Amino acid sequence: MYLTKEKKEEIFAEFGASAKDTGSAEGQIALFSYRIDHLTGHLKQNKKDHNTERSLITLVGKRRKLLNYLKQTDIARYRVIIEKLGLRK
């Protein structure tokens, strides 16, 4: 499995307040970005995997909603997470 417990804790430790802070918007955005990168690589090899493509589109939508929420509530945190992850917007 590509996403182990240790990898999740590492992502939340880097982007959230702590390794156990799984509810922060920054941590969830980082986790979604990691999963999106993995699924994008999978789809490059398996172009006809429409189920994974649908999952990818769902994840991108969830990440977009969280980014919009963060932008409305705290623009400074939004800019920091965009910079760290290297997202376009």
Per-residue pLDDT, averaged over 5-18, amounts to 91
pLDDT tens readout for residues 14-73: 998 888 888 899 999 999 999 999 999 999 999 999 999 999 999 999 999 999 999 999
pLDDT tens readout for residues 71-88: 999 999 999 999 999 998
Q: Which residues of 31-53 are buried (b: 16+ CB within 10 A; e: fewer)?
A: bbbbbbeebeeebeeeeeeeeee
Domain that holds residue 33: 5-85
Residue type, 6: E
pLDDT of residue 2: 84
DSSP label at residue 86: T
Q: How many domains in the chain?
A: 1
CATH number at residue 13: 1.10.287.10
Scanning 1-89, the segments in alpha helix (DSSP H) are: 5-15, 25-45, 50-73, 75-85
pLDDT of residue 24: 92
